Amino acid sequence: MNIHPKQMVLAAALLAGAAGCAPLSQAAPADVETCAAGQQCTITGTIVVHRGAPASVAQIVNANGCHALALTEKDYLTYSKVPGARISVSGTAYNQNYDAIIASYLLKDRLVASGVCTRGTVLYVDSIKTLPER
C-alpha cells in the first residue's frame, strides 16, 4: 500500500498535536465531563484547529485531557481563525478510528482525521458556542 505524502504530513501533525494533550492518567477534577461512545456529551474547554488535507483536525482541551471533534466545514473555518477560544460543544461520542495507515475517515457526513488525542472517542458536534474568556 502506498501512502500519499500529504497523509504522512498529516500523520506527523496528528502525532505532534496529540503529544501536546494532557495524559488521561492525570487526576482530573470531579466536575470534569466523561464522554463514552454512544453518549450525548457536552464538553467545555479550549479549541485547537489544524487545517489540512485530507482532513482538518479539531480538538478541545480541558482539565480531563484532549477530546477529538468532528466539525462542519463552516466550524473548521470559523474556529481556525480564533485559536485558543474557549468553547462549549455538544453532540454524540463515537469510537475513534485509530490506525497508523488510515489518515482520515468519514463519520456520517464529516471527514475526521484518524488518531486525534488518545481518548478513543470523537465527538460529532451538533452545537458549538464560544464562551467569554475567564
Q: How far apart are CA 19 and CA 23, in angstroms?
A: 9
How many residues comprise the chain?
134
Return the closest-CA partner of residue 93 out of 34, 47, 31.
Answer: 34
CATH of domain 5-22+38-130: 2.40.50.140
Sort residue 115 into left (φ over 0), alpha (ψ -120 to 50) or beta: left
Contacts of residue 81, defined as CB under 8 A and 6 or more positions apart, other chains included, come to none
Q: What is the pLDDT of residues 20-77, one digit of tens each?
A: 333 333 333 323 357 889 999 999 999 999 887 777 889 999 998 899 999 999 999 9
| Residue ranges covered by each domain of the chain | 5-22+38-130
Mean pLDDT of the chain: 76
Contacts of residue 73, defined as CB under 8 A and 6 or more positions apart, other chains included, come to none
Q: What is the pLDDT of residues 99-134, one digit of tens each?
A: 677 778 889 999 888 878 877 889 999 999 999 987
pTM over 0.85: no
